[in-house]
Amino acid sequence: MGRRTQAERTRATTGELVEAARLLFGRDGYAATSIDDVARAGGLTKGAVYHHFSGKADLFRAVFVRQQERLTSLIAEAAIRPGAAPTTGGQDADPLEAVRRGARAFLLACAEPETRRIVLLDGPAVLGWDEVRRIEYGHTLRLLREGLAAAADAGRIEPGDVTVRAHLVFGALCEGAMVVARSGDPGTALTEVLARADILIASLASGI
């Protein structure tokens, strides 16, 4: 293999720093993690971190985006109908059921300590709600909107503005995830939130 280009080396270093920061932010939280901590974990100097990121908040934003990418992948995988024929592209005959499975995957992922800390607890505090929603609209919220649009096209939900409904459902799912995150009994809270989320998604169906 030939020598890597400068751009390839830069991408590799940036990726390593984001991964090191993701583990630290997810374990210890934003406030308790320093640039020095990230540099040590990534085997680099503090100056190298600042070469790629303007500061800790900028680095955290990159970590938040990476978590959104992971969530998007998990949701998309969950939405694929189990055992679907390759010729169908894994699409479910009932797109609203695909939305339900995706919503459950989102809630289950948000119950994980790392995702809970980065996405639910520190994300809004560090980035602000406007920036958080902007990033989510390019990832998890976008996927929900696309799922509801498919359900509307299939006649499974009433026609109309799916963007508004996507924001309403997403807000409810995020609040449900926060209930689990702040509960003294996360397991019981998660079971209840998952059940209520199923009911919420089902209530969108035409004629209900």
Tell me the C-alpha to C-alpha distance, in Å, between residue 155 and each of 16, 142, 160, 162, 164.
45, 20, 11, 13, 17
The residue behind tokens 């720093």 is: 17
Per residue in 141-199, pLDDT (tens digit) is: 999 999 999 999 999 998 889 999 999 999 999 999 999 988 999 999 999 999 999 99
Hey, CA dihedral for 159, 165, 170, 176, is it positive or negative? negative
Per residue in 13-37, pLDDT (tens digit) is: 898 999 999 999 999 999 999 999 9
30: in domain: no
Per residue in 54-107, pLDDT (tens digit) is: 999 999 999 999 999 999 999 999 998 665 444 445 555 799 999 999 999 999
Characterize 96-110 residue by residue with b for buried, 16 or more Cβ atoms within 10 angstroms of its Cβ, and e for exposed: bbbbbbbbbbbbbbb
Q: Indicate if the pLDDT at residue 46 is higher than 70.
A: yes
Domains contained in the chain, number = 1
113: in domain: yes
53: in domain: no
95: in domain: yes
Q: What is the dihedral of CA 124, 129, 132, 136, to 10 degrees?
A: 120
Range of the domain at 189: 61-202
103: in domain: yes
208: in domain: no
50: in domain: no
Per-residue model confidence (pLDDT) at position 87: 41
Angle at 114 between CA 180 and CA 168, to 5 degrees: 45
Residues 38, 16: Cα–Cα separation, whole Å: 10
Tell me the C-alpha to C-alpha distance, in Å, between residue 122 and each of 79, 91, 106, 155, 172.
28, 35, 17, 39, 19
> Between residues 113 and 83, which one has the greater pLDDT?
113
- 121-148: average pLDDT: 96
92: in domain: yes
CATH of the domain at 141: 1.10.357.10
